[in-house]
Structure 1
Amino acid sequence: MLKKLFGFGKDQEKITEEVIYSPADGSVIDLTDVPDPVFSQKMMGEGIAVEPANGAIVSPAEGEVIQLFHTKHAVGIRTVSGIELLIHVGLETVNMNGEGFEAHVKEGDKVKIGDPLITCDLELIKEKASSTVIPIVIMNGEAVESLEPAGEKDAQKGTTKLLKIKVK
């Protein structure tokens, strides 16, 4: 009875397909083109990337913030289907120790597509880090049955579809 009332247990329908939207305005690039082997060789997982046009970074999916790095350069989100996404703003930005980054969420926050996550100073990143590119990586690839890039080249944050995912 309680399970039925509160919407969990056998009665809750499992979400098996999900769309990941762009976390930033900019140009969509293949993960293999990211100038860092950790991402381009998919050592952390499958995904896609965006070369941002500005410093507004939003949630690419509905879910929960499961990690916010203390340096505010990256955030982890567990989507409603259980996919764990890492949104990593720039390359080698961890060395900036949070300078030029402002977080708008904290761990445990529920987010919807388009909710602000991070604001960053792109000019400062260009000056102090190796790249402004934003890899979006699926950290629990074992949960993915199939992944299909949407094929877009130009991205608008929160509205452009980047990936279609089928969950196991």
Structure 2
Amino acid sequence: MFNKLFGKKEVKKEETVVAPVTGKIVPIEEVPDPTFAQKMMGDGIAIEPSEGLVVSPVDGEIVQFFHTKHAIGIKSETGAEILIHVGLETVSMNGEGFEGYVNVGDKVKAGDKLLSFDIDLIKEKASSTITPIVITNGDEVESLDKRAASEAVKGETSLLQLKMK
């Protein structure tokens, strides 16, 4: 009882990761880039976006936002570290076609707008629009269950169910 009164906060261990973008769900193993397909950065899932808006997949904090605005890292309330990488070979665009709405250190809620991107420009200047969503600290994850769905709606569709150690 006193713990509740005096701030001994219960640490959340389980979490649902919702889709950060709207589009077609693709298994991570089918991403046409070995770094993601072979899970070198971690396990996860990917989405072929149908619109150019990324929202937060969890409640957490922005821990990384690449200066090129093509990738963003979020640490969730459970401690999961989630990388959202918009497109493949998009780092070479140097931020062209991307606009960010958050900064490192910002607290976000699932569904909050993080960044927008120009799908047509990515199709023109990069190798793919496919967007991997990767758990980069897999050593701290007890279980990762992928949800079976073919289409994702940003901020709504459950993609991953995580249980942290």
TM-score (norm 2): 0.96
The one of 154, 157, 165 aligned to 2:162 = 165
**2:91 aligns with one of 73, 90, 94:** 94
Alpha-carbon offset, residue 79 of structure 1: 0.1
Pick from 126, 131, 152 the counterpart of residue 128 of structure 2.
131
Structure 2: runs of 5+ lacking an equivalent: none
Structure 1 residue runs of 4 or more that deviate by more than 2 Å after TM superposition: 3-7
Displacement of 1:14 after TM fit? 1.3
For 2:160, give the aligned amino acid: L
SS at match of 1:127: helix
Structure 1 vs Structure 2 CA RMSD: 1.2
SS at match of 2:35: helix
* 1:48 counterpart letter in structure 2: I
CA distance in 1 between partners of 2:124 and 2:19 (Å):
24
Q: CA deviation at 1:93?
A: 0.2
Give the 5 Å matches for 1:4-23.
7=7, 11-23=8-20
Secondary structure at 1:125 match in 2: helix
Q: How many residues align?
A: 163
> Given the alignment of the two structures, is residue 79 of structure 1 paired with residue 79 of structure 2, yes or no?
no
Could you tell me which runs of 5 or more consecutive residues in structure 1 were left unpaired when the two chains were aligned. Answer: none
C-alpha distance after superposition, 1:112-132 (max 9, x if no partner): 011011100000000000000
